[in-house]
Amino acid sequence: MGYLLLNPVRRISHKPEQILQPYLQSGMKAIDFGCAMGYFSLPMARMAGKSGSVYCFDIQQKMLSKLTSRALKHGLSDIIKPILINDEADIYENLKESIDFVLLFAVAHEVPDQQKLFTDLAMMMKPGSLMLFAEPAGHVSQSEFEQSLKYAGLAGLEKAEEKTINRSMSTLLRKRQD
C-alpha cells in the first residue's frame, strides 16, 4: 500500500507543495502523522529547511525505514525525524507544545481512538498553531468527518478556515490560545 501512496499520478490531485505552502516556513517544527513512506514528509522537510524538523509518525517500522532511506537519498535525513507509534506515552510528551504545524491527511479514520489522537496531537501543538485535517471523500462519510471534528473540538482545536482539497473533506484547525 505504501508504494501506491507514492504513485506520481497522485500529484495530479494532491500536490504537496501547493497544499502545504501556506502553512509551512523555514525553521518550523511540523508533524506528518501517518506518514507512510513520506509522500508529504519530504516536501514538508524541504519547506521546514535545515533549521526545522518534521516528526514523521507511523505504526509500521517498514514504512519508517523506507522513509528514512528516501530522506537520506534526498539530503533531508537531518530534518526528518521518524517515530514509531507504540504504547509509550512519552513519545508525545517529549514534544509538548513545541509543534508549529500538523498534517493529518487521510489517516484519522484508520485510528481506533480518534479522541485520543486529537488530544495527543493538540498537546504537542503550540497555542495558535495549525493542523491541516483531511479525509478521503467517498471513503469517509460526512457524518464520520463531523464526528472527527467534534473530537478535535474537545481537544482544544477550532476551525480556522475551510480548505478545499481534491477528493477530500478538509479543514484547517487552530489550537485555541486560552
Asked if residue 117 is part of any domain, the answer here is yes
The residue segments making up the domain with residue 153 are 15-175
pLDDT 10s digits, 67-126:
999 999 999 999 999 999 986 667 888 999 999 999 999 999 999 999 999 999 999 999
Rounded CA separation 63/169 (Å): 25
pLDDT 10s digits, 129-161:
999 999 999 899 999 999 999 999 999 999 999
Rounded CA separation 66/37 (Å): 6
CA distances from 167 to 3, 40, 102, 154, 171 (A): 20, 16, 20, 26, 13
**In contact, 41 and 72? CB cutoff 8 Å:** no
- What's 124's domain CATH number? 3.40.50.150
Q: Cell numbers 512519552 correspond to what residue?
A: 90
Domain count, the chain: 1
Asked if residue 2 is part of any domain, the answer here is no
Mode of pairing for the β-strands spanning 99-105 and 29-33: parallel
